[in-house]
């Protein structure tokens, strides 16, 4: 069975044709439980997210701030497995028909086996992977198997990336490019910053791939700000915090739906300029 890179590309293209950025949500698998995590992912997709990244919880998430680290710890203590991540992808995609990616550090894939991981992700209906710590120079085996299974390989570019480096990363990537809005870890910020727009412009100069911005976006105003210059707005910590702060599962799902609708309105108010 083939993966859903085409669905991801079509979804991003459709948002662009509508004159808006796509809303991309992040939630870790297994949080607050495996079942609860599946319901959470479905909730944000049903409420208006265009794409979801399902996080594979990791004991040393170097890109992630304290909110996502807390959720990962809860998931790991609950015994989450890669099979649960695949189940989350499968059930969320089957229920909504929308593209679902996995965001993971490289070590779990390496230990699990690249061929096994890509085959299972494609079988689950996944659209691809975001791999924040996999160097392009060491990605040939992954990209070979991802390509064979029609899965996107999403790499991360940062404000510190030189133009030549961005071009190298962009050439190797597929689906879209993840532009980190600032140097640092995930988390909500008072301001997304001008660095993000500069990074998007420099990245667009090297590639036809959509450029989506993450790290720091937490409300509709920030989503509108980023949507004015990016192809996609990625939100993670704000969703996770809503679940962490909720008194029970039903309240958590309601809070996710509310935030998704606010952010979806934001990306529609921020008209894409390019």
Active site residues: 53, 64
Integer Cα distance of 34 and 66 in angstroms: 21
d(CA 195, CA 15): 24
Residues 225, 227, 229: CA angle, nearest 5 degrees: 90
Displacement of CA 109 from its chain's centroid (Å) = 17
- In the structure, how many helices (H) and strands (E) does the chain have? 12, 9
Rounded Cα distance, 14 and 44, in Å: 19
The encoded tokens of residue 99 equal 């593209």
The string of DSSP letters for 41-68 reads HHHHHHTT-SEEEEE---SS-TT--HHH
């Amino acid at each position: 069975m083939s993966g859903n890179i085409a669905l991801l590309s079509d979804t991003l293209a459709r948002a662009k044709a509508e004159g808006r950025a796509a809303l991309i949500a992040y939630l870790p698998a297994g949080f607050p439980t495996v079942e609860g995590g599946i319901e959470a992912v479905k909730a944000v997709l049903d409420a208006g997210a265009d794409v979801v990244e399902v996080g594979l919880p990791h004991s040393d998430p170097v890109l992630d701030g304290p909110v996502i680290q807390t959720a990962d710890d809860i998931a790991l203590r609950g015994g989450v497995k890669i099979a649960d991540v695949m189940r989350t992808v499968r059930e969320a995609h089957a229920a909504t028909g929308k593209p679902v990616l996995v965001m993971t550090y490289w070590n779990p894939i390496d230990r699990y086996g690249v061929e096994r991981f890509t085959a299972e992700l494609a079988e689950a209906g996944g659209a691809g992977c975001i791999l924040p710590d996999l160097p392009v120079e060491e990605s040939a085996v992954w990209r070979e198997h991802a390509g064979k299974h029609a899965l996107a390989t999403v790499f991360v570019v940062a404000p510190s990336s030189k133009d030549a480096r961005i071009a190298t990363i962009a050439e190797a990537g597929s689906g879209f490019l993840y532009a980190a809005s600032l140097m640092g870890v995930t988390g909500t910020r008072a301001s997304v910053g001008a660095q993000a727009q500069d990074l998007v412009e420099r990245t667009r100069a090297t590639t036809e791939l959509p450029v989506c911005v993450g790290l720091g976006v937490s409300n509709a105003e920030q989503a509108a700000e980023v949507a004015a210059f990016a192809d996609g707005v990625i939100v993670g910590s704000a969703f996770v915090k809503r679940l962490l702060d909720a008194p029970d599962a039903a309240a958590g799902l309601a809070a996710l739906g509310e935030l998704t609708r606010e952010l979806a309105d934001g990306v529609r108010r921020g008209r894409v300029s390019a």
